[in-house]
Amino acid sequence: MQPLIVVENLVKRYNGRGPVGRPGVVHALHRVTFSIAPGKTLALVGESGSGKTTTALCLACLERPTSGRILLEGRDIAALQEKELHAVRPQIQLVFQDPATSLNPRFTVLEILTEPLLFQRKARRSEAAELAYALMERVGLPAEIARRRSGELSGGQRQRLAIARALILSPKLLILDEALSALDCSVQAQIVNLLIDLQLSLGLTYLFITHDLAMAAHLGDEIAVLDRGRIVDRGAPEMVLRKPEKEATKLLVQSAPLSTGIQPLRRVS
Amino acid sequence: MTRFLLSRMTHAVLLLFGVSLLTFLFTALAPGDYFEEMRLDPRIGPETVSALRTRFGLDRPLAVRYASWLKSVVRGDLGYSFSYNSPAGPLLWARARSTLLLTFTATLLTWGLALPLGIWSAERLGKIPDTLISWAMAALLVIPDLVIALGLLLLAVRSGWFPTGGMASVNADALTAGQRIGDLGRHLILPVAVLVFVALPVVVRHVRAAMIGVLDAPFLRVARGHGIRRHRLLYRYALPAAANPLISLFGLSIGALISGSLIVEITMSWPGIGPFMVEAILARDIYVVLGGVLLSTCFLIAGNFCADLILYWADPRIRAGSEEK
């Protein structure tokens, strides 16, 4: 099957200055290579600072890679000009860890969902509202909260809203950057179920970024381990996590709360 | 909303009463009064001075004088000017109008320039535009108001491009209405420029700092990911999120409309309330001083009130909180 997205030799360096003005270079990503088939999930795991979020931002065209290629359905989106990216960005959507800061506090739920559609001129106001209500129902948000603002929602509702907002432009790839980390266990399970249902019904492709190995094993069709900006291990979850060979993978497995064995989560109805 | 307005109005009235009482007490308890210097003049007898003090009510008890002054405030007279031998209110208001014309224009211009400059600087953080703006603002910040005013006066004198003082030309009476407005505009350029140069660095720095705090917010990244364009991201998403401290600062700008242009009015001979107040303080024309302080306090309260109203209108979280209460 032709992969939806292919990342080849992705390199990202940040040029920075220290407090006394000394220039320094941070190598965030070094020759990162992976691909994801349509309708599949790649779980990207790694400890904090390993480059997971930088990978997400490069894929979502929100950071320009220093070098390398990102092929979305065969088209190198890393080489596109800023003007061309406006049309590409909606195809790859991000869901962040903290829904409280990733939702515009000034907008109502309805505005959050309809704004991208209206701005992209994909629907008129009334059509956009209809689509928004339909999507709210799909992600399990009651229609009554449409006029509320994000500050008036619970953590679970906010993350459902963040997912709905990511889906409103019908993206091909959904990047979930620690999207479950800020939620409690019961809400996590509900959101995981929602993600699985959405993937099955809409054929979505996920890049699931996490440091939770159990969740990675549960959701991922494949796992890639990122360590200091390099992919050091990659394969089926049971292969990578049950018999870790690489040092970074071993450390991750050992530091997991249930290091005796990664058990897939049971689906919560 | 009604409760909010009522509470702010009550607060404002109490504050005005407190300020008026304290100012009245301090000026009344200070040694000497307007007629004190007359005693030194051998041509004026002590009986005449005493009669004048009686005529203007300065021999009455403090509480009676305060009550009488409060009555005149309610009438809009704000007491009586000894120097001008007329009610202080109309005298103050005529000068306050000139001051307001100057400071209102300068405040609008300052904010009109500071918002795009601050936003641009924050967006280009650490790059050449940001560095240039930061350096320029730092330079303006360290130069005293007086030096800026004198520098611009020197420029006006040498170049002859702008009038160097006053509010109208000598032959203004002979001009048509349109020409008078043009003449007033030309006289405004220099004092407004000084006020803008003085206020601009502070506002630009606040706008820049507030925007830097917001520009990295995840919701902006998400909006960029939706293909929302730069201009809309900056002005519809980032600016409203960064606006609350700026609205409070705008309230302070309104508060300073009456009292913030003293040096400019004196150096550029602008017939505003500043020089009039200095004259009144030196002459101990206490009711003019009291009226000026009261007017200044009114603007300070109005500024804060405006800021509260704008915050209430601009931030749905504040609206929701207020409605819940």
In SS3 terms, A238-255 reads as: HHHHHCCCCHHHHHHHHH
Tokens standing for B316?
Answer: 């749905």
Which residues of chain B have a CB within 8 Å of the CB of A105? 219, 241, 317
Q: In this model, does residue A132 exceed pLDDT 90?
A: yes
Nearest CB to A98; choose among B126, B218, B225: B218
Taking residue A35's Cβ as centre, other Cβ atoms within 10 Å add up to 15
Tokens standing for B88?
Answer: 């202080």
Nearest to B270 by CA among B199, B193, B191: B191
Mean pLDDT (whole number) for A239-244: 82
What are the residues facing A10 on neighbouring strands?
A: A32
DSSP classification of residue B236: I
Taking residue A258's Cβ as centre, other Cβ atoms within 10 Å add up to 10
> Using H for helix, E for strand and C for coil, what is the string for A213-236?
HHHHHHHCCEEEEEECCEEEEEEC
Nearest to A163 by CA among A129, A128, A127, A190: A190
Which residues of chain B have a CB within 8 Å of the CB of A86? 227, 229
Which residues of chain B have a CB within 8 Å of the CB of A93? 225-226
Q: Which residue of A has its CA nearest to B223?
A: A116
Do residue B237 and residue A104 have CB atoms under 8 angstroms apart? yes
Return d(Cα B158, Cα B150) in angstroms, integer: 12
Cβ pair B186, B162 in contact under 8 A: yes
Tokens standing for B160?
Answer: 């002859």
Which residues of chain B have a CB within 8 Å of the CB of A80? none
Q: pLDDT 10s digit of each residue in chain B, 325 long?
A: 777 788 888 888 899 899 999 999 988 888 877 887 777 778 888 888 888 888 888 888 889 999 999 999 989 888 888 889 899 999 999 999 999 999 999 999 999 999 999 999 999 998 899 999 999 999 999 999 899 999 988 988 898 888 888 888 878 788 888 888 898 899 999 999 999 999 999 999 999 999 998 998 889 988 888 888 888 899 989 999 999 999 999 988 888 888 778 888 888 888 988 899 999 988 888 899 999 999 888 888 888 888 888 888 888 777 776 666 5
Nearest CB to B226; choose among A98, A162, A169: A169
Stated pTM of the model = 0.78
Taking residue B122's Cβ as centre, other Cβ atoms within 10 Å add up to 23
Taking each helix axis from N to C end, the angle separating A155-167 and A185-202, rounded to the nearest 10 degrees, works out to 20
At the fourth CATH level, which superfamily is domain B93-324?
MetI-like (1.10.3720.10)
B315 lies within 8 A of chain A by CB:
yes
Tokens standing for B81?
Answer: 């000017």
DSSP classification of residue B80: E
CA distance to A55, A162, B118, B155, B254, per residue, from B145 (Å):
51, 50, 21, 15, 19
A165 lies within 8 A of chain B by CB:
yes
Return d(Cα B233, Cα A91) in angstroms, integer: 19
What are the residues facing B111 on neighbouring strands?
A: none
Which residues of chain B have a CB within 8 Å of the CB of A108? 316
pLDDT of residue B42: 80
Interface of A with B in 168-197 (CB under 8 A): 169
Mean pLDDT (whole number) for A108-137: 90
First to last CA, chain B: 11
B218 lies within 8 A of chain A by CB:
yes
Q: Which domains does chain A have, with CATH numbers?
A: 5-255 (3.40.50.300)
Nearest to B316 by CA among B241, B245, B209: B241
Which residues of chain B have a CB within 8 Å of the CB of A16? none
Q: How far is CA A17 from the centre of its chain?
A: 29
Compute the nearest-CA separation of A268 from chain B (Å). Answer: 29
DSSP classification of residue A212: -
Compute the nearest-CA separation of A134 from chain B (Å). Answer: 19
Do residue B226 and residue A115 have CB atoms under 8 angstroms apart? yes
Place of tokens 């109208």: B168
Taking residue B154's Cβ as centre, other Cβ atoms within 10 Å add up to 11
Q: How far is CA A176 from the centre of its chain?
A: 2
Which residues of chain B have a CB within 8 Å of the CB of A123? none
Nearest to A102 by CA among A158, A49, A40, A149: A158
Return d(Cα B227, Cα A90) in angstroms, integer: 6
Cβ pair A51, A224 in contact under 8 A: no
Nearest CB to B227; choose among A94, A120, A149: A120
Cβ pair B196, B106 in contact under 8 A: yes
* Amino acid identity, position B223: A
pLDDT of residue B324: 61
Q: Which residue of A has its CA nearest to B228?
A: A119
Do residue B226 and residue A87 have CB atoms under 8 angstroms apart? no
CA distance to A49, B106, B152, B194, B245, per residue, from B109 (Å):
45, 5, 18, 12, 19
Mutate to test the interface with B, among A82, A91, A101 (most CBs of B within 10 A): A101
Q: Percent of chain A scored above 90 by pLDDT?
A: 48
Nearest to B120 by CA among B198, B201, B200, B211: B211
pLDDT of residue B259: 78
Element (H, E) at B131: helix B128-142
Q: Where are the domains of chain B?
A: 2-89, 93-324
A115 lies within 8 A of chain B by CB:
yes
Confidence class of residue A100 from pLDDT cuts 50, 70 and 90? Answer: confident
Nearest to A186 by CA among A265, A78, A130, A120: A265
B224 lies within 8 A of chain A by CB:
yes
Q: Give the CA count within 13 Å in the CB-facing half-sphere of A32.
A: 33
Question: Exposed (0-12), middle (13-18) or buried (19+): which is B177, by Cβ within 10 Å?
Answer: exposed
Cβ pair B60, B33 in contact under 8 A: no
Nearest to B290 by CA among B94, B133, B78, B95: B78
Return d(Cα A59, Cα B221) in angstroms, integer: 13
Tokens standing for A91?
Answer: 């195809």
pLDDT of residue A4: 94
Return d(Cα A183, Cα B144) in angstroms, integer: 54
